[in-house]
Amino acid sequence: MPWQPGQIIDADGLNNPTPTTITTGVTAASGWVVTLQTLDIVSGSRIANVVLQRSGADITNPGGSSGNITPDLEICTVDEDWRPRDSLYELCSTGIGHGSMRIQPDGSCQWLTWIPGANVTSGSSMRWSWTFAR
């Protein structure tokens, strides 16, 4: 397989350039359901994609007037393969509203910010992804 843009060339990648995809390892918090979970591992890089659907009641204006969610809300946890060495801060979106998420080395995924005045309705899909190397 030829080199691809963004592909890391290292001993692991040279010995095993075939991607591995993991489709388990995300556990949703109460009020959420996992609808997509993929972790692609290739050449030492890991690319995670998560979609959670809001199954609980609507969340009215979680970011208040400032956009800050206080306290931070854990909406899922991820298994060891999905965890970065250091906390990562990523954008998240329902396609209508947007905010930020923190993925922690202990596996906790916490919702941190949300656009002021926007609700998250039951049935909405929260999406985010992150890339890291081990």
In order, the DSSP letters of 49-72 are EEEEEE-SS-B--TTTTTSEEEEE
Q: How confident is the model over 8-28, as pLDDT tens digits?
A: 556 655 565 678 999 999 999
Measured distance CA(109)–CA(28) in Å, rounded: 10
Q: Provide the pLDDT for residue 4.
A: 55
What pTM value is reported for the model? 0.86
Q: How confident is the model over 39-88, as pLDDT tens digits?
A: 999 888 999 999 999 999 999 999 999 999 999 999 999 999 999 999 99
Measured distance CA(34)–CA(31) in Å, rounded: 10
Q: Which domains does the chain have, with CATH numbers?
A: 11-133 (2.60.40.1830)
